[in-house]
């Protein structure tokens, strides 16, 4: 059996995403997932008690509100929210984002609720 080697094209994968605030898995490395997401508007305050969360902005500008400050993340930049730190991502205009986090992490962390996306959805 021959394994096919193909690069992952972000533009193609983004064309398959039909909802904002609903990360889609594009790859796994060990126990970590790489997820693409489209964001616009304000999300909910939440934390991830057991893991850090890496936000890599590919297009647009993301504002990550923290209880003790704000981080502006522009295209080509990244920010890692440490585990247990409550945060709220916000985007005045649509942002294309790459998230890196362990398999099984929900987008709403410990907050849950109606904004919780279905986990482990691949595109």
Predicted model pTM? 0.92
Q: Assign domain 24-102 one CATH number from 3.40.50.11540, 1.10.10.60, 2.60.120.10, 1.20.1560.10.
A: 2.60.120.10
Q: What distances in angstroms separate CA 7 from CA 4, 20, 26, 37, 80, one per listed residue?
A: 10, 24, 11, 19, 25
Query: Which of 59, 86, 57, 94 is closest to 70 using CA atoms?
Result: 86
pLDDT at 58: 98
pLDDT at 68: 97
- pLDDT digit string, tens, across residues 17-36: 999 999 999 999 999 999 99
Tell the residue number behind the tokens 């909910």, with chain if given: 44
On the question of pLDDT at 1 being above 60, the answer is no
pLDDT at 110: 85
Using CA atoms, how far apart are residues 106 and 51, in angstroms rounded to an integer?
Answer: 11
- Where does the chain show beta strands of DSSP type E? 24-29, 32-42, 53-59, 61-66, 69-74, 78-81, 87-102
* Reported confidence tier of residue 63, pLDDT bands at 50, 70, 90: very high
């Amino acid at each position: 059996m021959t394994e096919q080697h193909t690069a992952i094209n972000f533009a193609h994968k983004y064309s398959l995403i039909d909802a904002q605030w609903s990360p889609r898995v594009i790859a796994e490395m060990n126990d970590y997932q790489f997820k693409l997401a489209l964001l616009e508007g304000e999300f909910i305050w939440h934390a991830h008690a057991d893991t850090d969360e890496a936000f890599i902005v590919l297009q647009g500008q993301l504002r990550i509100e923290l209880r003790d400050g704000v981080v502006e993340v522009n295209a080509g930049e990244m920010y890692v929210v440490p585990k247990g730190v409550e945060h709220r991502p916000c985007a005045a205009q649509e942002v294309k984002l790459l998230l890196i986090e362990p398999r099984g992490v929900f987008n709403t962390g410990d907050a849950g609720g109606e904004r919780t996306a279905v986990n482990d959805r691949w595109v």
